[in-house]
Structure 1
Amino acid sequence: MIRSLVLGLLLLGGLWCPAQKKIVVYQSDFGLKDGAVSEMKGVAMGVSPDLKLFDLTHEIPAYNIWEAAYRLQQTVPYWPAGTVFVSVVDPGVGTARKSVVLLTKTGQYIVTPDNGTLTLIAESLGIAGIREIDEAVNRRQDSRKSYTFHGRDVYSYTGARLAAGVINFEQVGPLLPKQEVVSLPYQHAVMEGAVIKGTIPVLDIQYGNVWTNIPAELFQKLGVKFGEMVVVRVMHGGQMVYQGEIPYEETFGSVEVGKPLVYLNSLLQFSIALNQGNFAAAHGIASGGEWMVEVRKK
């Protein structure tokens, strides 16, 4: 109780700096076919060669802010307090969108454009504080004439300085109101009568499984047992894309090859699959806030 109170007071005062763990984790839509990711890491090494640099992913589909938001929500909770994430999916680079650092209530930092990337992590982990990057201080030297690579010149540089302890959170820049974080609209997981509604935040890309944001505890309110059928509807922009009756199973091998099943994925969220097949491709399903799922017991 006393420890929590002390940490809270330090956070409010902007003095707590667990970021000096020297860990930086990168995410982008750059891919690895050119030198962009290496440039960002080179800037970080120039700040401190003692930093430990890791990749979340660089295969976010181009300009897909929603998927960047989801991958942060999926990954950040598994990293220790003090980890600095640099997330660069920035179709508005050079425009009036803010460059920020968000400190979660669990102690991780996310350095990113405030363009919707923070939508899910702000909801799931909460915001202890958010600051706009002061580029008069936290920008790579001699980069003022570069307008299209803030990932290298601003975000990686600021993230590295924070992780290395060159600056603390208070020195990032001015404090912003928490409610000013840009949020993307989507269907939250809710139960309405006997029907659960949710969205498809992402596909399990390698296999084409359809992941939803419906958590296990909500799905279990339907009272469905293994082997029993559920009715699944998938809509896109209000138009029906798929409707079917599918068994709820514990694992893929519980149905024949090529047959559908619903299951709880590794994040314990309701998901849809074909055993050794691609459910998303078979039914023309994609992901994002405009995709909606409805589930009910048969």
Structure 2
Amino acid sequence: MRKTNGSLVFQSDFGTIDGAVSAMYGVAEAVSDNLKLYDLTHEIPQFNIWEASYRLIQTIEYWRPGTVFVSVVDPGVGTSRKSVVALAQSGHYIVTPDNGTLTHISESIGITAMREIEESINRLGGSEKSYTFHGRDVYAYTGARLASGVITFEQIGPELAPEPVTIAHQPAELKDGIITASIDILDARYGSLWTNVPRTMFEELGVEYGHTVLVEISKYGNTVYGNRLIFGKSFSDAAIGQSLVYINSLLNVGIAVNQGNFSRAHNIESGRGWVVRLSKGD
């Protein structure tokens, strides 16, 4: 089993307006002052498990193998949903509720092993009667113990099949010259749409830079947008205010407005129910 490296990365929907994130840091630091503590983000929209899943896959492979991630977007806190630690095939560990947060990692990287957190051992002392802050009491504590080497992966708890709960979505597929896919996420600050269409699949359409792509976007089968957009290498290949199709930093298809906000302009969001179709325009 791959050793951890002392790095602990936190993600949540807590925000930083109060002391929740600081409390998790405090629990981790009390386990070991040799840990290196980092934040992925704490600005996941409240209860948005899908976005938590995506932000992990957006980031995780840029960290050294052996890094431990604690991801807490947990609307089912206190229920029967499992608390787990997953080992990705990339060698990274993810401490999280098994509620769909592992969807993208499971599908894009793969999960080698998974264990359920045994709370009688791996829980902050004195927190047993607290039922609504597992991010502090279970996940930060367990993640810190694992990252610092206080416990091994095998000491997390019972072994589970490496088959986490996943969230249903539209996989990218190419048929008869049309790609059908999902809008995975918004580039939050700029409003670009990031799809799950890999560059390699898009290349099969045979669209050259400077030519156009037919774009149709629907929600639960109802078309909300349709247009012919230029395919560019970067945003400046379109005029300011003009929309374009491009390949984003994860090497998937994106849709953007040069110096604008595509999502806001067309009232388009991401996640369940949102489907995009792409075909060669000229």
User: What TM-score, normalized by structure 1, do the two folds share?
Assistant: 0.93
Residue equivalent to 2:52: 68
Q: CA deviation at 1:253?
A: 1.2
CA distance in 2 between partners of 1:106 and 1:148 (Å): 31
Residue equivalent to 2:267: 284
CA distance in 2 between partners of 1:163 and 1:59 (Å): 23
Relative to 1, partners in 2 of residues 1:211 and 1:17: Cα closer, same or farther, differing over 3 Å? closer
Out of 159, 181, 188, the residue aligned to residue 198 of structure 1 is 181
Secondary structure of the residue aligned to 2:94 is: strand
Secondary structure of the residue aligned to 1:289 is: coil
CA distance in 1 between partners of 2:241 and 2:175 (Å): 32
Q: What number of residue pairs does the alignment pair up? A: 281
CA distance in 2 between partners of 1:109 and 1:101 (Å): 7
**Kept in 1: contact 2:86–2:111 (CA 8 A):** yes
Superposition map of 1:6-25 within 5 A: 16-19=1-4, 21-25=5-9
What amino acid is aligned across from residue 218 of structure 1 in structure 2? M
**Kept in 2: contact 1:41–1:156 (CA 8 A):** yes
Q: CA deviation at 1:251?
A: 1.3
Residues 1:139 and 2:118 are matched in the alignment:
no
Q: CA deviation at 1:289?
A: 2.7
Superposition map of 1:103-142 within 5 A: 103-142=87-126
**Kept in 1: contact 2:2–2:91 (CA 8 A):** no
Identity %: 56
CA distance in 2 between partners of 1:79 and 1:254 (Å): 32
After the TM superposition, which of the residue ranges 196-205 and 95-104 deviates more from structure 2? 196-205
Secondary structure of the residue aligned to 2:197 is: strand
Q: CA deviation at 1:239?
A: 1.0
Out of 33, 47, 53, the residue aligned to residue 37 of structure 2 is 53
**Structure 2 gap ranges (5+):** none
Residue equivalent to 2:242: 259
CA RMSD of aligned residues (A): 0.7
**Kept in 2: contact 1:51–1:163 (CA 8 A):** yes
Q: CA deviation at 1:17?
A: 4.3
Q: CA deviation at 1:122?
A: 1.1
Residue equivalent to 1:240: 223
CA distance in 2 between partners of 1:36 and 1:290 (Å): 32
Residues 1:154 and 2:138 are matched in the alignment:
yes
**Structure 1 gap ranges (5+):** 1-15
What amino acid is aligned across from residue 79 of structure 1 in structure 2? W
**Kept in 2: contact 1:17–1:168 (CA 8 A):** no
Q: CA deviation at 1:156?
A: 0.3
User: What TM-score, normalized by structure 2, do the two folds share?
Assistant: 0.98
CA distance in 2 between partners of 1:185 and 1:289 (Å): 8
- After superposing on structure 2, the runs of 4+ consecutive aligned residues of structure 1 that deviate more than 3 Å are none
Residue equivalent to 2:158: 174
CA distance in 2 between partners of 1:206 and 1:173 (Å): 39
